Amino acid sequence: MGVKRLIAVLLSTYNGEKYLKEQLDTLEAQTLNFTLYIRDDGSKDNTFEILKQFTQETKRKVFLLHSRKNLGVIFSFMRLLRFAKRNLENEIFLFSDQDDLWMPDKIETAVNKIKLKEEGAGKGKPILYHSDLTLVNGLGKPKGTTFWQEMDLDPKLGKKLHRMICQPTITGCTVAINRKLAESVHTVPKKAKMHDWWLGLYACAFGEIISDPIPKIHYRIHDGNVIGATGLSFQKVFKHLKKFTGYIYAWKRENEERVLQAQAFEETFRQLLTQSQIEMLSAFINSPKKSFFVRKMIQFRYGFWQHSFYRKVSSFLFF
């Protein structure tokens, strides 16, 4: 399918010299033309020098932002998105990490699927595309599984807001969004867990999410990942249970962060939410104040569960 629309790829880097060049090579190999917007978030290694050399050698159109103040991954990506939106002809925006390996048709696949969805839903609908990922080690060798398999994720559940607020199904480096979604989300509040989760919440509540089961990225698992694949297997649960107090504390802390994010989402987009969505979010936000038995009634009524058997057990015990 032929596609002619302006595409923006957003690349935020931080101390990524080890794998960055390989990722840039896979961007160069993409089958569609695009403009690359790059922002370094204050690297202390040779990342910025690698980027400058790349901009001098590539035939791609590249914008290397001058600001290198350390903002953190969320706000670095959002600054890139704001900058790329200034070009009103950019229609599709993709997010790129610094250490993965993109398949040559990754961009083309995402753009075509968004275009197909727009033909049915209309360009006025916020649309987010994401896919599964092939897990590889630091050397780029496949580990024999995918991210969704490792995390036991069901992407269909990520299209339901009451499940999305409990656990994300979207991985930022696979994400592509259309112009409508990019224009709808101007900022990401400090209470948001990650920018991809926040965009996913908006698309889930007000638009469409495309979940592609075919991996288009080799996703490196290494010590430098900001967030990596950490499946909750029986062995990991058992390890956590050996330090039961710490496990409970960690889960409750994460739940508190999920509640704060849901509260920020409800406050930010209240005027757009339906009454049933507001009631569901309010129940989730206020649940920590309730007794255990009332929380269980709320949990079963609205379906506030995470994915996989072990995560559901944790949800029941500690939600």
Q: 181-211 pLDDT, tens per residue?
A: 999 999 999 999 999 999 999 999 999 999 9
Exposed e or buried b per residue across 272-288, where buried means at least 16 C-beta atoms within 10 angstroms of its C-beta: ebeeebeebbebbbebe
What is the band of 160 on the pLDDT scale with cuts at 50, 70, 90? very high
The structure tokens listed for 288 are: 């920590």
Average pLDDT, the chain: 90
- pLDDT of 232 > 50? The answer is no
HSE (CB half, 13 Å, CA atoms) of 95? 29
Residue 237, pLDDT score: 54
- pLDDT tens digits along 130-154: 999 999 988 888 889 999 999 999 9
Residue 298, pLDDT score: 95
- Tell me how far apart the alpha carbons of residues 176 and 203 are, in angstroms, rounded to a whole number: 12
The structure tokens listed for 283 are: 């129940």
- pLDDT of 6 > 70? The answer is yes
- pLDDT tens digits along 239-258: 555 566 776 778 788 899 99
Rg (CA), the chain: 20
What is the band of 319 on the pLDDT scale with cuts at 50, 70, 90? confident
The residue whose two tokens read 């075919």 is: 214
pTM of the model: 0.90
Domains and CATH numbers, the chain: 6-220 (3.90.550.10), 234-318 (no CATH)
- pLDDT of 2 > 50? The answer is no
Report how far apart, in Å, the C-alpha atoms of 10 and of each of 35, 92, 154, 259 are: 9, 11, 27, 29
Residue 240, pLDDT score: 54
- pLDDT tens digits along 13-52: 999 999 999 999 999 999 999 999 999 999 999 999 999 9
Residue 252, pLDDT score: 82
Residue 316, pLDDT score: 84
Residue 3, pLDDT score: 46
| Cβ atoms within 10 Å, residue 270 | 11
Q: Which helix (H) or strand (E) holds 211?
A: strand 208-212
